[in-house]
Structure 1
Amino acid sequence: MDTPTRQPAPRMIQVGKVHGAFGVRGEVKLESFTEPRSAIFRYQPWTLRDARGVERACEGARGRETPKGVVATVPGIEDRDAAEAARGLEVWVPREALPPPKPGEYYWVDLEGLRVRNVEGVDFGVVSYLFDTGANDVLVAQGDRERMIPFVVPDYIHSVDFDAGVVTVDWDPEF
């Protein structure tokens, strides 16, 4: 008898978050992490995740950009009360739903878990996460301690080698 093989769960990436009701017809204010912001509607179906981690599938969301941000109509959210109850829901999609990044650009989720070494070969651990400061992105390497390295190419980030699983940085190990 053949043993069924379990397919690994797809790697998910958060592309947005619901911030509350917009109007009285069940539309929601949506923070989009995509560029442009309206591109969030290209990547469906969505997985909506609440603060407890409970998820539900959502397909057919549509919306528009307004001067106050992205406004969405989401199946299953039919009135203002339901839209307010949706506040805080995160919008996730499989990583595979996103287009390949342009040369020299990276999805943060693709960098997470890569080894970080400086140009002298000192191992800083792995990419834990990245965040945006407004001025530039910052790579957080977690190893013997946490290091925050500006994601500025080529000043501090020399190379990203996905085949080797390594980000090479020009960063003082003592800093």
Structure 2
Amino acid sequence: MDTQGRRILLGRVHGAFGVRGELKLESFTDPERAIFRYQPWILRDAQGRERELAGARGREGGKGLVATLPGIEDRDAAEAMRGTEVWVPRSALPPPAPGEYYWVDLEGLRVANVEGVDFGTVSHLFSTGANDVLVAQGDRERMIPFVTPDYVVSVDFEAGLVTVDWDPEF
């Protein structure tokens, strides 16, 4: 599987915290503090400009994480970071546990049902809170609950195929 160059969105800066350059940071990792384990970060601002940064530190705040970044030393500099996304190369993350998947690794795989009907490829996934949903884009878009083994029967990275138990008419 080619994960070269692929990136994972791990968090987003929501603005300044206090007056000394600390930032309010939303983390998509579980647990939240794990975001600091995966560095260097690739910071992408709202205009799409990117820069690499190492040495971020953080702590738990009342409503999420509070981060300190090298070079951000006052409230104005911290506020200017609002909306910045925190990305890391896919290669920076540990291998997933058996039966678990990084969404980015599933994107682009072919999707077919158990009868062999081609549903196209995995466009993306999203979470509903109750479960994750796989979006297959082919002759049309299909949203399939990512529930194993009920609907997602198997994921075969070598074959590049996700097999689903799903009615092609649905």
Tell me whether the two structures share a fold, i.e. TM-score over 0.5: yes
Query: Do the aligned partners of residues 154 and 9 (structure 1) sit closer, same or farther apart at CA in structure 2, a change above 3 Å counting?
Result: closer
Q: Which residue of 2 aligns with 1:168?
A: 163
Taking the aligned partners of 1:118 and 1:50, their CA distance within structure 2 comes to 40
In the alignment, is residue 150 of structure 1 matched against residue 145 of structure 2?
yes
Q: Which residue of 2 aligns with 1:11?
A: 6
In the alignment, is residue 23 of structure 1 matched against residue 22 of structure 2?
no
Q: Which residue of 2 aligns with 1:5?
A: none
Pairing of 1:14-163 with structure 2 (within 5 A): 14-163=9-158
The runs of at least 4 aligned residues of structure 1 exceeding 2 Å deviation read: none
For the 8 Å contact 2:33–2:60, the answer to whether it is kept is yes
Taking the aligned partners of 1:120 and 1:52, their CA distance within structure 2 comes to 46
Normalised to the residue count of structure 1, the TM-score between the two structures is 0.93
- Which residue type is aligned with residue 14 of structure 1? L
The 3-state SS of whatever aligns with 1:135 is coil
RMSD after superposition: 1.2
List runs of 5+ in structure 1 lacking aligned partners: 1-7
The 3-state SS of whatever aligns with 1:48 is strand
Normalised to the residue count of structure 2, the TM-score between the two structures is 0.95
List runs of 5+ in structure 2 lacking aligned partners: none
Taking the aligned partners of 1:146 and 1:56, their CA distance within structure 2 comes to 35
The 3-state SS of whatever aligns with 1:40 is helix
Taking the aligned partners of 2:99 and 2:57, their CA distance within structure 1 comes to 31
The 3-state SS of whatever aligns with 1:30 is strand
Taking the aligned partners of 1:75 and 1:81, their CA distance within structure 2 comes to 14
Give the share of equivalent positions with the same residue, in percent: 80
Q: How many residues align?
A: 168
Taking the aligned partners of 2:141 and 2:156, their CA distance within structure 1 comes to 21
